[in-house]
Structure 1
Amino acid sequence: MSSLSKIKLGDLFDVKVAGDLQKKFFSKKYSEETPFPIYSNSLSEKGLYGYTSKPRFNGGSITITGRGDLGHAEYRDTPFDAIVRLLVLIPKNEVDCKFITFYINHILKFAIESTGVPQLPAPRIKKIKIKIPNDVKEQKAISGILTKVDESIQLAKESINATENLKKALIQNLLTGKLKPDGTWRKEDEFYIDEKFGKVPLEWQLKKVKKCFDFYPTASYSRSKEIEKGDVYHIHYGDIHTSLNRILDLNDDKLPKIPEALSKKFTYIKEGDIIVADASEDWDGVGKCIEVINTNQKKIIASLHTLHLRPIAGDFILGFASYVFETYKVSINIKRLATGIKVYGISKPNLSKVLLPIPPENEQIKIKEKLDVLWDNIVSKNRKIKSLERLKKSLMQQLLTGKKRVNVKEVEKLLNQTKM
């Protein structure tokens, strides 16, 4: 097992600062004439800006964002070009660039020193010291382990995206009534035309939201009110947009807590309630909602920028209404009623008049069974991703810092087996 050494990045790499775009070699699209990627300081799509016929840097290098979101590293394995003061680290000696990329992203912290546009100058990068194994084989073993975890996470995400697309297609066909749960298509004479909603299956109902749900007052508590310990939870609109997706299952999902005294004038959420985010910074998030299950007598209130809906007459079986809100017609009608320029909002009066399609209960059960197969697959994959992300975090903390060393031969053997 090799020893660990502290070494400056400038001793391992030549650090270059990217210049201006070579416009005469540039194309927005990949082609045989322009096959080489151009990278900028953006984090979106790993910094991809376009393509060029004349790359200025070889593969086997690292780029680091030098402006904006400082210090994010990406390993570049093919020839490329870089622009707008993106930093390029070119190895002087044998070193595993993938290991260094993981190290930069998860161990190093970059403080912003300038008061204007944040910048990370090349001289500063060169002076940074990192502690790494002297043996490049050990560096490669560590990066190999972390790369395999990343690949597993990526495969799970791709599987979720494919399942999400299939779910959306099924929702659009099953919840418009075009497709029956038995797999046959409804004929034209099996629909009636509603002047506001369009085609509706003969045996289905149409009701406004206000005829299906009662509205309850919601709190307006910001994150500053949250506490670590307590018995009362709140649903913040930010959670609906980021960490929660369609179903809030209190057996699995975690919510932030607030002091019980802040909850007393509000109605606690029950199983089957719908919580709608009434504000969104982007169009896609307008009207996003969750349905709550397995409350288990927990005390939960709807909080900042939310609408609290409770079913009135049992129009929907548990877990079905949230699918209805995902249909294109319902979703687009909510969006059309949203107001605002930079932040979109949907008000209680506007949401109240949105029409909802309601199949008979026996058809709801069959539709939900089909959609739940896909939903359960998505939930399972998301759990796998969270588990892998926890594993990766633990491995990085142990392996990149040298707290735990690896048996290079055993890791090489394992990595070779996974390639087969």
Structure 2
Amino acid sequence: MLGYYAATAIGSLRRSKALAILMVLVIGLGIGASMTMITIFHVLSGDPLPGRSGQLYAPVIDPRPLARDRSESPEPDGNFTWPDAMNLLRAKRADRQAAMAGGAVPVRPTQRGELPFYETGRYVTTDFFAMFQVPFAAGSGWRSEDDEARARVVVLGSELSHRLFGNASAIGRSVRLKNTDFRVIGVVDHWNPQPQFYAQINGRVFGKADQFFLPLQTAQELNLDFNGRFSCWDSGGDARTSDHCVWLQFWTQLDSAAKASAYRDYLRSYWREQQAHGRMPRPANPQLYGLMDWLAHEHAIPDDLRLQLSLSLGFLVVCMLNVVGLLLATFLRRSNEISVRRALGARRWDIFLQLGVESCVIGFAGGVLGLLIACLGLWSVRQRPDGYAQLAQMDLSMLFATFLLALVASVIAGLLPAWRACRIPPALQLKTQ
């Protein structure tokens, strides 16, 4: 029966080609615009470390002095001072923990004639690699002893390794970063979680992978260039080791809810201990955010994308309201045909089902057009300079979602016109024949 209704629907649409084309175009535009933004939002709001994020936490303490005016944000930015980060590392209250900061250094190629170039990377402590399960193509990270010894070792990203050494092994080779030679002990195998949750959220959250990893204390000793927000207060100096300047990110791995609760209690006791030494005068209220909660708290997805998503969904609603009017006009023009079918014994449900199938056919055609428009929209996004632009790719789930949205929207749009058409008394129409 559904096959018969589908064939009838196609025949009816052929008799009203102009209206059919207009409805498909309207649905296609609405679906294309909305699916472009839904796909981008879907990609950017995904879990950067599936299966691992539930064990990762970002602790937040507030070392700032008491607020002096209302313009100051009541919420800390989540960054740590050097003394606080080192104290938490030495306490070892988590299963794993790491302090980190972004950096950019000039790389001096070993080949003659090649000019130095800048690369961005990360200054981290040893647990970074195991905690985030960073995959290695060769070698490994460094040991905790190398952190304390300020070892001149480096882990390269796969792109930088290939640029410097081609297909040859980089392990054991020397790389000159800024004015210091570092020994390569590992090469990361295409690791680039999106968003880069471990970075400062207000910085480079989406985009290119880090191309080198250096021991944090080594970078500090060599005074290597630092990327990110560096915030100081009072007259405690602006040195990176000052307890009046926040700039480091800190992450912990806690393998159970009980350990997370215990760590939160430890942060509270640490806060009170620092108050006894004249620091951290604000009320002790430490926070411990899970990875996904941290991204939501820090608004990792740009606000303009949320606005564009709302506008695209609003545009889809407007398009479907227009389709309601077009379907109503199409169905009411066929009142005579519907009345004859009713007179021959067709039930209202049969008419309603026939017109519903016709709406689905229009929706499917609109979905095909919407998919093409969405692919074109995603291609245009990839031409933008934004860090997230290259992530604008439609996966299989979004492909199915495009057609599902088109069918659901067209069926909903067809409910009122179909109900109105099947309620027409056949006797009134037959009298006019």
TM-score (norm 2): 0.19
Q: Which structure has more strand as a fraction of its residues?
A: 1
**Structure (1 or 2) with the larger CA radius of gyration:** 2
TM-score (norm 1): 0.20
Question: Could you say which structure has the greater relative contact order, defined with CA pairs below 8 angstroms and 6 or more residues apart?
Answer: 2
